[in-house]
Structure 1
Amino acid sequence: MERLKPSTIVTSAAAAPKISTTRRRKQKIVVIMGATGAGKSRLSIDFGTRFFKNSEIINSDKMQVYSGLDITTNKITMQERFGVPHHLLGVIDPAKSPFTPSDFRKVGSEIISDVKSRRGLPLVVGGSNSFIYSLFAKRYDPEADVFNGLDPDPVSLELRYDCCFIWVDVCFPVLNRYLSKRVDEMLESGMFEELVEFFRSGECESVNWSGLGQAIGIPEFETYFRNFPGYRRVDGADSEEDVTRLTEGYNEAVRRIKDNTCQLAKKQVSKILRLRDAGWEVKRIDATEAFRAVMTAESGGTRVAEIWEKQVVEPSVKIVKQFLDE
């Protein structure tokens, strides 16, 4: 999805048991969840600039909480935020201990209280469902694993807040094509050069590899930089043999980034389904047609914006307004 303008997806809420919650007594929070690249940031900016102007966004992407590598982690830029306040975006020191779900629960709760004290609407936005679960589950056990394994731990159905969960979904064939395109665009925007500096400067030696060091792009290019310590691109090769080796190494790293990004998207969706099937009231918004339009050469920006508005923004706003009016 071309990033990011406030828009110039049809809902299919699963029939799931309702979560135990007394809405009148709990603070209202809107959560925008979904796979990487599905348009969560764009929808949050639409909300914050056009419909819910007291909104403040709390980032729940576990790589974007760290400072540095803004292109590699695909952080929304200052220009793309259009003045909407953002929290927990690029503020954690990547050299220190990893920022855990328990940390997110503590800090996220404090931010929510602060936003609410100003009569703001907290929008929790991001693809890290372990963060989302830790923040909202009333009985959260950091030692439990509700997402993985053949027999995962039970999902807590009682929530700390009154939540409206919006799941922006895109069918995998279309999303995978888009994610491949997005990786190419990130590389064109300077991702490779950013990683060159990351490894050349020695910053990679100080980063905690259990935190930011796991960001997609770093492990995939680590082998390339280790094999080619001059950090040269193909246009800096001295011989035809060097050109071949550099090209193969670079292309293999890019292929792995694309594959791993698509695998991440599948894992993220599986975790959302786990929460929804357990009983969380997750409202699914189908953004597939908007992304299909992005991937169609003859579709202009106006056509994409029209589809996004009709199939994503309008039903999402309707859901949130009804939630806030309850």
Structure 2
Amino acid sequence: MGPTGAGKSRLSIDLATRFFNNAEIINSDKMQVYRGLGITTNKITMQEQLGVPHHFLGEFDPIKSVVKPHDFRKLASETISDIISRRGLPLVVGGSNSFIYSLITKRFDPQSDVFNGPDPDPVSSELRYKCCFIWVDVCLPVLNQYLSKRVDEMLDSGMLEELAEFFGSGEHLTVNRSGLGQAIGVPEFEGYFTTVEEDVVRQVEVYNDAVRRIKDNTCQLAKRQVGKILRLKDAGWDLKRIDATEAFREVMTADSGGGRVAEIWEKQVVEASVKIVKQFLEE
């Protein structure tokens, strides 16, 4: 668990490839469950997966109905049962806490909302699985700085071209607005791709505004996600917090070498997580 950009996918691959070889990953990011927009939704690439089986990663048609929390509960629980029947270790990985809550809580009411609104419903502390919760956390000021950098890197990696094809093909008119159509990057860039700007200066302004809004909205998403995690923790969920701040601070250091980042990540995030999971499995 953890906010967007905190390194959940990286940690899951570290655990699955080096310590728990029978692990299979269940994606619980509600934008990454849909096909398409791999860069925009920051899906882990096939190369980065290192052969670890992934479930619900780009599996659902974005044109059809939205994958709701109760849908995820049913599908993910069936997958967990299948993994366990093969003596595998299911790792649920993603930042959508509504998906995680729907899957884990013993009595889930699709009509309830424990996270949003002025008077959210009470969080249930009755869980239907014995879980080991790893909360990868990064100090928000550092994370916000990193998220801004990550948006620039996504644009450099082809996000703009991906969105150009998405809007140019008319796919933005067919995807469900409550599903993939909500992915950060789609609404922000819609005006840039659907409005003809003959003034080059104005076109640049529209582009820069879209990028700024993507960065702002990504940081706001991270803040909301942390708030939801704290709500679960306050309700008694036994979340094991792993502080990855120092590794991210090192990433943001201009003259920092990758070796130093990897060293900090290994010691403070991977080793700490392995210890927690091994203790959990031995209980």
Q: Does the 8 Å CA contact 2:189/2:210 hold for their aligned counterparts?
A: yes
Q: Which residue of 2 aligns with 1:268?
A: 225
Residue by residue over 1:173-210, the C-alpha shift from the partner in whole angstroms, topping out at 9 and shown as x without a partner, is: 10000000000000011101111111110111110001
Matched, 1:172 2:103: no
Distance 2:237 2:60 in 1: 29
Which of 274, 286, 298 is 2:243 aligned to? 286
Q: What is the TM-score normalised by the length of structure 2?
A: 0.99
Q: How does 1:1-326 map to 2 (within 5 A)?
A: 33-228=1-196, 242-326=199-283
Distance 1:152 1:79 in 2: 40
Q: What is the TM-score normalised by the length of structure 1?
A: 0.86
RMSD: 0.9
Q: Tell me by how many angstroms 1:214 deviates.
A: 0.2
Distance 1:198 1:261 in 2: 20
Q: Tell me by how many angstroms 1:211 deviates.
A: 0.4
Distance 1:151 1:213 in 2: 28
Distance 1:149 1:248 in 2: 34
Aligned residue for 1:163, secondary structure, equals: coil
Aligned residue for 2:246, secondary structure, equals: helix
- Which amino acid is 2:154 matched to? M
Distance 1:161 1:228 in 2: 53
Distance 2:96 2:54 in 1: 16
Q: Tell me by how many angstroms 1:151 deviates.
A: 2.0
- Which amino acid is 1:140 matched to? F
Aligned residue for 2:242, secondary structure, equals: strand
More contact order relative to length (CA 8 Å, sep ≥ 6): 1
Q: Does the 8 Å CA contact 2:39/2:159 hold for their aligned counterparts?
A: yes
Q: Does the 8 Å CA contact 2:167/2:194 hold for their aligned counterparts?
A: no
Q: Tell me by how many angstroms 1:101 deviates.
A: 0.2
Aligned residue for 2:127, secondary structure, equals: coil
Following TM superposition, the consecutive aligned residue runs of length 4 or more in structure 1 with deviations greater than 6 angstroms are none
Distance 2:93 2:129 in 1: 15
Task: State which drifts further: 144-153 or 83-92.
Answer: 144-153
Aligned residue for 2:172, secondary structure, equals: helix
Identity %: 78
Structure 1 unaligned runs (5+)? 1-32, 230-240
- Which amino acid is 2:208 matched to? N
